[in-house]
Amino acid sequence: MTIVIDPKNKHIMRAAPRLMQILRVLARHKFLGALRGKGNWPAPKEVRETFEELGLTFLKLGQVLALRRDLLPASYIKELEQLHDQLPALGFGAVRATVEAELGAPLTVLFASFSETPLAAATIAQVHEATLHDGRHVAVKVQRPDLEEMIAADIKALSYLVSLGESLFPRLRALDLPVLVSEFASSLNRETDFNHEARSIMLFRTALANIPDLWIPDVVAECSSENVLTMEFSAGERVDLYARQHPDEMPRLINTLVRLTLQTIFEEGLFHADPHPGNVMVLPDGRLSLLDFGMTGELDEQMRESLTHLLEAVVKGDARAAAESYLELAPQGSEKVNRAALILDIKAVLYDIHRSELANISIGDSFDSLLRAGSRHGVHNPGEFFLLTRTFVILESMIRELDPDHDYLGSFRAEITRLTEQHFSLERIKEKTGKLAREMERLMNDGPGDTRRVLRRIAEGNLGRLQAPAIEALGGRVSRNLERLTIAIASASLVIGGAMLVNAPLPGWHHILGEIMVYGGILGTIIVWAGALRSDKGRGSGRR
């Protein structure tokens, strides 16, 4: 399913019936008075009940707004977090029709058995237990019919309301509401596309294959489609229920949760954005099983690097570095931000964090405070940062529920240390060195020729008195200087990489390798300096 929002094509008549229904519900719950200002907002409970009455799309919108702690007061956030997405189950006839239409065969041909009673029924889909003809025990996730038309009408109505509100009340433009609606539609696209969820499951299975205490159910591709997703069945118990009977197992399971979260974020750029107890099961053999990959986030390499620097700055209490890393995470419009004021706000946030007791420090709350500080100064926070904040808030809340005395930050530090050691492993250094060498070789091979070609074209343009022979001589000098620059960059890289290894808290051989790299880099720098000195002397004698 694809939900398309075209801001230039808001045919209000198509969405008029739904729009009138929405307006009636908003009026009944005193929403329209909110246009007069914050003092006229409806009570938090009224807001929650409004979203519940408006149905599927607005339930999801309320859950998204529950993440926007930078926009709403805490009382509204707390109320919206209570929004549940359990709906009455679909009739089995509708389930059968969807499965057969999507998979192109009768239900009895596809499955040896298929339970008519769903295991769970939510807003987007419901899950049924089934068995394949080869004996595999599976769970079948079936999407509710007619979602596309329903959601598209609601998104169209929301887009119109936002456009109308900004026209009547220009101060609303500061909230970037069209961007919020657009990101919300994109989120619904991902959550209602089971092909996307299937790809996410395969990515997570690959990324976390080295964690022995974790099992992620595989996708049964031949029985899956855009609206039907068949997976291996997870015969486990909810982790919160398991914790009551096996409290001694919690430290191990919590460490596994922390490891899989940080490893996917910093190594793969992936994260499960909804790690609540209902999505974390414990198998009979004691392994964790992670379910429901409809809500996941992705971070590119630059965002992961900025996030790493941000965490380091928060730990060190460096407000300026934290502000710069935060703005790298949210680059859109960051050039208009008053950085001095933002740094002061972040300094206050870091002060509050560092004066707290160690056991009470929360990564999720720290990110939440940064989001609020940024929004106050006009930073457009990326959707991934909200999802990431949600991930840490839910994870920390679940860990405190499973074992209130567990040293969460200790688990966090241990995993960061492991990832650091892996980052500086011999295999990773060889990989990065090989990549650097290939880039340098390409630069050295292509640079001089490219330089000569560009300069030759300039010469052929007869630019003033600059003739081809002079250009060729200049090209030769530029090529030689480019080669020296390449060697200098490589030498500097060796020095920096070696220094990092020498200072890293790792086994002794890293220090030896680091010293060799530093000395090699210094030697390369001396060679470049000597070559440049000889060249300068040669040009000086030529002038004499």
With a threshold of 0.85, does the pTM exceed it?
no
Is residue 399 pLDDT above 80, yes or no? yes
Q: What is the pLDDT of residue 437?
A: 57
Is residue 5 pLDDT above 50, yes or no? no
Q: What is the mean pLDDT of residues 153-175?
A: 78
Q: What is the mean pLDDT of residues 210-233?
A: 94
Q: Report d(CA 318, CA 68) in Å as an integer.
A: 25
> Picking from 226-235, 352-361, 456-465, which range would have the lowest pLDDT averaged per residue?
456-465
Q: Higher pLDDT residue, 63 or 135?
A: 135
Confidence of residue 18 (pLDDT cuts 50, 70, 90): confident
* Structure confidence by residue, pLDDT tens digits, 331-384: 665 667 788 888 888 888 888 776 766 556 677 778 888 888 887 887 877 778
How do 288-290 and 214-215 pair as beta strands? parallel
Helix then strand count (H, E) for the chain reads 20, 11
Structural domains in the chain, sorted by start: 12-85+148-189 (no CATH), 91-144+193-233 (3.30.200.20), 236-423 (no CATH), 426-543 (no CATH)
* Structure confidence by residue, pLDDT tens digits, 238-279: 999 999 999 999 999 999 998 898 888 888 888 888 888 888
Report which residue type is found at 46.
Answer: E
Q: What is the pLDDT of residue 8?
A: 45
Q: Which residues are catalytic?
A: 274
> Picking from 24-33, 149-158, 277-286, which range would have the lowest pLDDT averaged per residue?
24-33
Average pLDDT, the chain: 77
Report which residue type is found at 163.
Answer: S
Q: What is the pLDDT of residue 85?
A: 62
The closest alpha carbon to 6, from 226, 163, 194, belongs to: 163
Contact status, residue 496 vs residue 488, Cβ threshold 8 Å: no
- Beta-carbon contacts of 227 under 8 Å, excluding residues fewer than 6 positions away, are 1, 98, 102, 142, 143, 194
Q: Report d(CA 86, CA 275) in Å as an integer.
A: 18
Q: Kindly list the distances between the CA atom of residue 55 and the CA atoms of 150, 154, 408, in Å, as whole numbers in the listed order.
A: 10, 10, 37
What share of the chain in percent tops pLDDT 90? 21
Q: Report d(CA 313, CA 307) in Å as an integer.
A: 10
Q: What is the mean pLDDT of residues 270-291?
A: 90
For residue 231, count CB atoms less than 10 angstroms from its CB and return exposed for 0-12, middle for 13-18, buried for 19 or more.
Answer: buried
- Stated as kind and residue range, the H or E segment containing 282 is strand 280-282
* Structure confidence by residue, pLDDT tens digits, 480-489: 555 555 666 6
Q: Which two tokens stand for residue 183?
A: 């990101």
Confidence of residue 147 (pLDDT cuts 50, 70, 90): confident
Q: What is the pLDDT of residue 428?
A: 54
Q: What is the pLDDT of residue 464?
A: 46
Give the number of other Cβ atoms within 10 Å of residue 25's Cβ: 17
Confidence of residue 465 (pLDDT cuts 50, 70, 90): very low
Q: What is the pLDDT of residue 245?
A: 93
Q: Report d(CA 217, CA 233) in Å as an integer.
A: 7
